[in-house]
């Protein structure tokens, strides 16, 4: 039985509130407003009771906790607001259904590129991204020919588990029209089970938006056609919002969209975003030539896209090392448009496989997946044991939805380098998502064991700004998610029968 904390400790709790507030801001980017402070006090009382610790001990444990600690999990769940529902914000939903998605689809058809990548950042329990999946199911009569990468990410693990399970209550259904409900859910008592094909269309990952782990092919956050980040930035301070907006702009393809919630704050200085005021909080990255969405009189072009150009040639010594340094800088800065001309004009002296690796990364991040794959395949014909090219091929194949070939490429990568942590990680995710729980969890545990062999504050090579410590945290989250999901899956599957 949980014992209440002694009354005299209430004063101690009050005293630790400022430290917890700054911890929440630094770690999660979330600002605690003055009127929320008494709420926070209650949360801390509950936490001390739950974990049976004194306020002082609680603070010490919190400060030294990893992301996976029950203490932090409890705090994250308590301070994040997971409020969400299907078809939230009718106006934006109409815009998506009638204008934005049809135009994206049309332009993809014109490019002969039947793929779409859509990311719900701060997805809570998944209603938003599943709404998109339903809209696409309606808008794409030839859906089986499309490669759809629909991604939901959040820091709240409890919410993510609910999202992966796809089982909802009346509360999530309050804004959904009856025909959508009938078509895409199976109702049993008071629960609504998402149809399996919609549930399977979306991938969910743990991701803290205030950390620098995105955009990256490693977590599928790159080359997006559309990002929805609604009702999340409202909790962040200006500094974190500005950083997140910059990263979103790097995560989007050139002609792509970002949608924020109607009350979200906007910080778009120093980003390529154009604000379409007439449409609610919708931004495009680049001026899109879509007739219905052309800027109107009351639109405010707050920023224009900086021209992507190479530094003047006279400033670069045309030697191999200088080019390589510049190339690596461009890759780190995600300046993909500048990578290709640099290699073509000044990088021909570099080893062919290195050229191919960076070119393929640029092509994939610009959404040219097939071109990237052809280049990697050609390169591997010349150098069949190139680990990086096998691994990149696996990522591209995953994005193309060819999981069999991706698995093969990952196994080849591991055959060449069994210590390559990201190959274990991707293989693990691929397998658990394919319900091969035991094998998948084994691969994730392999990745975790390798990661733990390194100093936690060292950066992981090839993953920008990711430390081994933060990779341990992410992996532990994923393992926890899929372990509990694997256990539940049987019961869940039965519910569909
Ligand atoms: C109000 S919900 C929004 C859900 C959905 N986007 C919608 O509009 O219906 C806000 C979500 O943001 C998530 N969140 C808060 N801080 C975050 C962070 N630093 N990184 C990722 N997600 C975060 C919370 O966990 C919560 O699930």
Q: Ligand 1 center to residue 312 CA distance, Å?
A: 42
Lay out the sheet containing 191-194: strands in order across.
167-168, 191-194, 185-188
Confidence of residue 287 (pLDDT cuts 50, 70, 90): low
Q: Ligand 1 center to residue 401 CA distance, Å?
A: 27
User: Which segment of 270-284, 419-433, 473-487 scores lowest on mean pLDDT?
Assistant: 270-284
Structure tokens at 349: 């002296």
Phi and psi of 118, rounded to 5°? -130, 135
User: Which segment of 66-75, 137-146, 469-478 scores lowest on mean pLDDT?
Assistant: 66-75
Q: Which range, 24-33, 122-131, 268-277, is most confident?
A: 122-131
Does the Cβ of 250 fall within 6 Å of ligand 1? no
What is the atom index within ligand 1 of the atom nearest the CA of 210? 19
Q: Ligand 1 center to residue 205 CA distance, Å?
A: 13
Cross-strand bridge partners of residue 228: 120, 259
* Ligand 1 atom 14 nearest Cα: 122
List alpha helices for 212-294, DSSP H.
Answer: 238-251
Q: Ligand 1 center to residue 119 CA distance, Å?
A: 13
Q: Ligand 1 center to residue 33 CA distance, Å?
A: 17
Q: How far apart are the first and last CA of the chain?
A: 39
Is the separation of the CB atoms in 281 and 259 below 8 Å? yes
Percent of the chain with pLDDT strictly greater than 70 = 89
Inter-axis angle of helices 352-365 and 387-399, to 10 degrees? 20
Does the Cβ of 159 fall within 6 Å of ligand 1? yes
Does the Cβ of 82 fall within 6 Å of ligand 1? yes
Cross-strand bridge partners of residue 115: 147
pLDDT at 319: 66
Does the Cβ of 24 fall within 6 Å of ligand 1? no
* Pocket-testing residue among 120, 132, 154, 230, ligand 1, by greatest number of atoms within 8 A of Cβ: 154
* Pocket-testing residue among 122, 228, 259, ligand 1, by greatest number of atoms within 8 A of Cβ: 122
What is the atom index within ligand 1 of the atom nearest the CA of 83? 1
Does the Cβ of 222 fall within 6 Å of ligand 1? no
What is the atom index within ligand 1 of the atom nearest the CA of 76? 25
DSSP E strands: which ranges in 163-251? 167-168, 185-188, 191-194, 202-206, 224-229
* Ligand 1 atom 13 nearest Cα: 122
pLDDT at 26: 86
Confidence of residue 310 (pLDDT cuts 50, 70, 90): very low
Does the Cβ of 129 fall within 6 Å of ligand 1? no
Phi and psi of 476, rounded to 5°? -65, -40
pLDDT digits (tens, 9 = 90+) for 101-140: 999 999 999 999 999 999 999 999 999 999 999 999 999 9
pLDDT digits (tens, 9 = 90+) for 394-413: 999 998 889 999 999 999 99
Q: Output the pTM of the full model.
A: 0.78
Q: Ligand 1 center to residue 294 CA distance, Å?
A: 30
* Pocket-testing residue among 175, 221, 232, ligand 1, by greatest number of atoms within 8 A of Cβ: 232
Structure tokens at 461: 């090579």
pLDDT at 277: 61
Q: Ligand 1 center to residue 311 CA distance, Å?
A: 39
Percent of the chain with pLDDT strictly greater than 90 = 43
Q: What is the mean pLDDT of residues 15-21?
A: 89
* Ligand 1 atom 3 nearest Cα: 231
User: Which segment of 13-22, 26-35, 353-362 scores lowest on mean pLDDT?
Assistant: 26-35
CA distance 87 to 135: 10
What is the atom index within ligand 1 of the atom nearest the CA of 261? 8
pLDDT digits (tens, 9 = 90+) for 224-260: 999 999 999 888 888 889 889 989 988 998 878 899 9
Q: What is the mean pLDDT of the chain?
A: 84
Domains, the chain: 7-79 (no CATH), 90-301 (3.40.50.150), 313-494 (1.25.40.10)
Does the Cβ of 132 fall within 6 Å of ligand 1? no
Whether 318 has a pLDDT exceeding 80, the answer reads: no
Whether 494 has a pLDDT exceeding 50, the answer reads: no
Cross-strand bridge partners of residue 118: 150, 226
Does the Cβ of 209 fall within 6 Å of ligand 1? yes
Does the Cβ of 81 fall within 6 Å of ligand 1? yes
Whether 299 has a pLDDT exceeding 50, the answer reads: no
Confidence of residue 392 (pLDDT cuts 50, 70, 90): very high
pLDDT digits (tens, 9 = 90+) for 177-197: 999 999 999 999 899 999 999
Does the Cβ of 92 fall within 6 Å of ligand 1? no
Cis-peptide, bond into residue 215, ω within 30° of zero: yes
Q: Ligand 1 center to residue 447 CA distance, Å?
A: 27
* Ligand 1 atom 24 nearest Cα: 80
Confidence of residue 312 (pLDDT cuts 50, 70, 90): very low
Q: What is the CA radius of gyration of the chain?
A: 23
Q: Ligand 1 center to residue 313 CA distance, Å?
A: 44
pLDDT digits (tens, 9 = 90+) for 347-370: 788 888 889 999 999 999 888 899
Q: What is the mean pLDDT of residues 48-52?
A: 88
Q: What is the mean pLDDT of residues 23-39?
A: 83
Q: Ligand 1 center to residue 215 CA distance, Å?
A: 18
pLDDT digits (tens, 9 = 90+) for 449-468: 999 999 988 888 877 678 88
pLDDT digits (tens, 9 = 90+) for 52-104: 888 889 999 888 877 667 888 888 888 887 889 999 988 889 889 998 999 99
326-332 — which CB contacts under 8 Å span 24+ positions?
327/358, 331/358, 331/361, 331/362, 332/464
Does the Cβ of 160 fall within 6 Å of ligand 1? no
Does the Cβ of 473 fall within 6 Å of ligand 1? no
């Amino acid at each position: 039985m949980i014992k209440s904390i002694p009354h005299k400790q209430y004063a101690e709790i009050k005293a630790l509130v400022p430290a917890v507030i700054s911890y929440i801001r630094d770690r999660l980017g979330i600002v605690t407003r003055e009127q929320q402070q008494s709420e926070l006090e209650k949360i801390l009382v509950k936490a001390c009771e739950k974990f049976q610790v004194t306020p002082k001990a609680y603070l010490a444990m919190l400060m030294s906790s990893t992301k996976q600690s029950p203490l932090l999990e409890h705090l994250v769940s308590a301070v994040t607001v997971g409020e969400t529902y299907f078809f939230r914000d009718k106006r934006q939903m109409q815009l998506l259904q009638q204008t934005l998605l049809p135009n994206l689809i049309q332009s993809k058809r014109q490019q002969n590129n039947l793929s779409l990548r859509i990311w719900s950042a701060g997805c809570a329990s998944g209603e938003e991204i599943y709404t998109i999946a339903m809209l696409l199911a309606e808008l794409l009569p030839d859906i089986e020919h499309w490669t759809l990468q629909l991604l939901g990410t959040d820091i709240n693990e409890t919410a993510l588990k609910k999202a992966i399970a796809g089982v909802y209550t009346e509360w999530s259904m309050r804004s959904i029209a009856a025909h959508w409900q009938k078509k895409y859910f199976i109702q049993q008592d008071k629960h609504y089970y998402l149809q399996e094909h919609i549930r399977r269309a979306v991938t969910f990952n743990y991701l803290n938006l205030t950390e620098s782990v995105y955009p990256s092919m490693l977590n599928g956050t790159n080359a997006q056609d559309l990002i929805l980040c609604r009702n999340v930035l409202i909790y962040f301070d200006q500094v974190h919002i500005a950083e997140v907006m910059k990263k979103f702009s790097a995560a989007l393809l050139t002609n792509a969209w970002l949608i924020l919630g109607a009350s979200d704050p906007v910080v778009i200085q120093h980003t390529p975003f154009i604000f379409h005021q007439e449409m609610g909080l919708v931004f495009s990255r680049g001026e899109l030539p879509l007739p219905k969405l052309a800027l109107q009189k009351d639109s405010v072009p707050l920023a224009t896209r900086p021209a992507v150009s190479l530094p003047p040639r006279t400033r670069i010594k045309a030697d191999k090392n200088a080019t390589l340094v510049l190339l690596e800088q461009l890759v780190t800065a995600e300046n993909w448009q500048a990578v290709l001309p640099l290699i073509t004009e000044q990088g021909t002296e570099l080893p062919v496989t290195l050229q191919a690796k960076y070119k393929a990364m640029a092509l994939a991040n610009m959404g040219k997946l097939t071109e990237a794959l052809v280049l990697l395949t050609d390169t591997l014909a010349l150098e069949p044991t190139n680990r990086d090219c096998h691994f990149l091929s696996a990522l591209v194949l995953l994005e193309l939805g060819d999981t069999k070939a991706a698995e093969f490429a990952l196994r080849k990568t591991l055959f060449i380098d069994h210590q390559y942590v990201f190959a274990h990680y991707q293989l693990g995710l691929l397998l658990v998502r394919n319900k091969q729980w035991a094998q998948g969890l084994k691969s994730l545990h392999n990745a975790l064991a390798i990661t733990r062999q390194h100093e936690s504050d060292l950066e992981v090579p090839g993953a920008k700004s990711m430390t081994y410590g933060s990779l341990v945290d992410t992996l532990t989250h994923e393992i926890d998610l899929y372990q509990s999901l694997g256990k539940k899956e049987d019961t869940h599957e039965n519910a569909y029968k």
